[in-house]
Amino acid sequence: MFWRLRARLGYALARRLLRWSWWGRQPRAWRWMEGQFARMAALGDVAAQSFYGHILLFRGQGLGARDEGLRLLRLAADGGDGKAAFQLGVVSLAGDSRRPADAPAAVHWWSKASAAGHPLAARRLADLYRAGAPGVPADAELAATLAARAQALGL
């Protein structure tokens, strides 16, 4: 019980310290903050998984950090986080040196993000259905519906 409280307090403090750029540039402070983010993500907190997954994906060192970031983003997206699902769709559609672009996976993740209320995911999904892609046939009617949903969500 005490360790969960300690993890929550450490995570909250690390998030506050991250607001000051000086703390992020200090190697020892950054390692401590990463430990707090990792601990909270390991406890299953969806917001922490999404936050730390984004950090590892964009700031992590090496392919191992990128893979761990993607794993955490998948957990967060499966937990209902729209931002994580949107980012997974972007990564799926872009591909990388080890994986080809996967449009059906992008559709899956952007559909989840759109259902969670992410307006840009609905817009990107509409654009993808409008143009079509390998494995995703063009569907103008569905694209129009998704574009209307993106507008309704505020985009």
- Domain encompassing residue 95: 82-155
Let me know whether 88 and 155 are in one domain.
yes
Q: Tens of pLDDT along 8-62?
A: 999 999 999 989 988 888 999 999 999 999 999 999 999 999 999 999 999 888 8
- Provide the angle, in degrees to the nearest 10, between the axes of the packed helices 82-94 and 46-59: 30
Let me know whether 113 and 52 are in one domain.
no
Let me know whether 69 and 108 are in one domain.
no
pLDDT at 24: 82
Evaluate whether 83 touches 113 at the Cβ level (below 8 Å).
yes
**96 pLDDT band (50/70/90 cuts)?**
confident
Evaluate whether 23 touches 42 at the Cβ level (below 8 Å).
no
**97 pLDDT band (50/70/90 cuts)?**
confident
Q: Please state, in angstroms and rounded to a whole number, the distance separating the CA atoms of residues 153 and 71.
A: 28
| Domain edge (last residue) among 79, 98, 117 | 79
Residue 1, pLDDT above cutoff 80: no
| Domain edge (last residue) among 38, 60, 79 | 79
Evaluate whether 14 touches 32 at the Cβ level (below 8 Å).
yes
| Residue at 125: amino acid letter | L
Let me know whether 99 and 34 are in one domain.
no
Let me know whether 63 and 106 are in one domain.
no
The predicted model gives 73-99 an average pLDDT of: 94
Let me know whether 6 and 67 are in one domain.
yes
Let me know whether 98 and 74 are in one domain.
no
| Domain edge (last residue) among 46, 79, 112 | 79
- Rounded to whole angstroms, what are the CA distances from 32 to 1, 23, 45? 22, 10, 18
- What sign has the CA pseudo-torsion 135, 137, 138, 141? negative
Token pair of 67, please? Answer: 């893979």
Let me know whether 64 and 87 are in one domain.
no
Q: Tens of pLDDT along 38-51?
A: 999 999 999 999 99
Let me know whether 103 and 71 are in one domain.
no
Let me know whether 63 and 119 are in one domain.
no
Is residue 100 within a helix (H) or strand (E), and if so which, with residue range? none
Let me know whether 123 and 60 are in one domain.
no
Q: Tens of pLDDT along 100-145?
A: 989 999 999 999 999 999 999 999 999 999 998 899 999 999 999 9
Number of domains forming the structure of the chain: 2
Let me know whether 106 and 48 are in one domain.
no
The predicted model gives 74-97 an average pLDDT of: 94
Residue 77, pLDDT above cutoff 80: yes
**3 pLDDT band (50/70/90 cuts)?**
confident
pLDDT at 154: 86
